[in-house]
Amino acid sequence: MSLDASTIHSLIAGIDRAFARMEPPGDDKLLHPDCMDDVDVLEFYGPVRREDMTDAIIVNSYAAPTAFSPEAFRYYLPVYLKWVLHKPDSPEIVGESILLALDPGTDREILHEFRKSKFALFDKAQTACVQNFLQALSEHPYLGEFATHALVNYWLDEEE
């Protein structure tokens, strides 16, 4: 199941509004303070602005969101969300990876608080935007399972 064009357009407009006017995090704010290895975020030193990210950067940096600090996660998330909306049926791992990054798992999982910490800076509009994205993908034949898990494990409990 591919998303229809009007749904994609609406979700992207919401992403653009919710995450507008943000500056890229400095190099010292890219890596999550609990991560010891910056191999997944090397591409982002400089810093890289969202509008300069190519498909190649997104595909090659599919694991970066798992290592991003809350500042970097909030700044770069829109690029990944929009990529998935445009290419939900892609064989690339980007879709699965960003959905897993949006799922902190249950509170019994060892990395729950670490994963959840990436969402700490989200405001109400950004939270609602992520909820809408996940709900739209919840019916996808492959990505839907990942979107549903993220919704159930965290996002449904958050205020819109």
d(CA 83, CA 29): 23
pTM exceeding 0.85:
yes
d(CA 17, CA 29): 23
**Burial class of residue 145 (count of CB atoms within 10 Å of its CB; 0-12, 13-18, 19+):** middle
Angle among Cα 156, 62, 59 to the nearest 5 degrees reads: 125
The per-residue pLDDT for range 120-158, each reduced to its tens digit, is 999 999 999 999 999 999 999 999 999 999 999 999 987
Q: At what angle do helices 5-18 and 70-86 cross, to 10 degrees?
A: 160
